[in-house]
Amino acid sequence: MDGPPATRWFTDEDVSREELAGIFEVARWTGSARNRQPWRLHTVRDAGLRAELSRRGDYALHLRGAPVVVLLALDRRWADAEFDGGRVAQVIMTAARAVGLGSCPATFFPEGNVERVTALAGFTEPWSVRTAIALGRPAVAPEGTSAVPTGRLPLERIWSGE
């Protein structure tokens, strides 16, 4: 199985609450250290708020055009929450792909942007939102050269040992 390709261009077609519930039902079964499940999900549909989110990271512009943005809040009391957050984010993106949706993650930085996004989503300590996932039906990407490197390293470059 290959991973979901990043989708940065979306149609205007809605993503239903039922579709989101199905994706999140799959995601809630994601494993986590000591079964802490140190994540909470907050969805954003409002165009103005999506535009605000798109300005909170250098590579977050695609959040503006997605019909739904999922904000991933993590419980920062646990050092391994970031790892578990990556696990649940990947499950969300894979489950979205299984129902025909595209997705692309984005990170918020510097720390002031993290604090702003966390507050916009209504979370307080110990929760923090550093990651978002754009969700929607894929649109045809404009032609041109991507600002982000494409392709994958060959297996022999990423694997060593017996």
Please tell me what DSSP assigns to residue 142: P
Model's pTM, two decimal places?
0.93
More confident residue, 148 or 141: 141
Tell me the pLDDT band of 142, cut-offs 50, 70 and 90: confident
Tell me the pLDDT band of 125, cut-offs 50, 70 and 90: very high
pLDDT attached to residue 20: 99
How close are the terminal C-alpha atoms of the chain, in Å?
A: 23
What CA dihedral angle connects 124, 108, 135 and 71, to 10 degrees?
Answer: -10
Assess if CATH 3.40.109.10 describes domain 17-140.
yes
**SS3 label, residue 82:** helix
pLDDT attached to residue 152: 85
* Domain range summary for the chain, segments of one domain joined by +: 17-140
Give yes or no for a contact between 86 and 30, defined as CB atoms under 8 angstroms apart.
no
| Number of Cβ atoms within 10 Å of the Cβ of 153 | 8
What is the overall mean pLDDT for the chain?
94
Q: For 60-75, write each residue's pLDDT tens digit.
A: 999 999 999 999 999 9
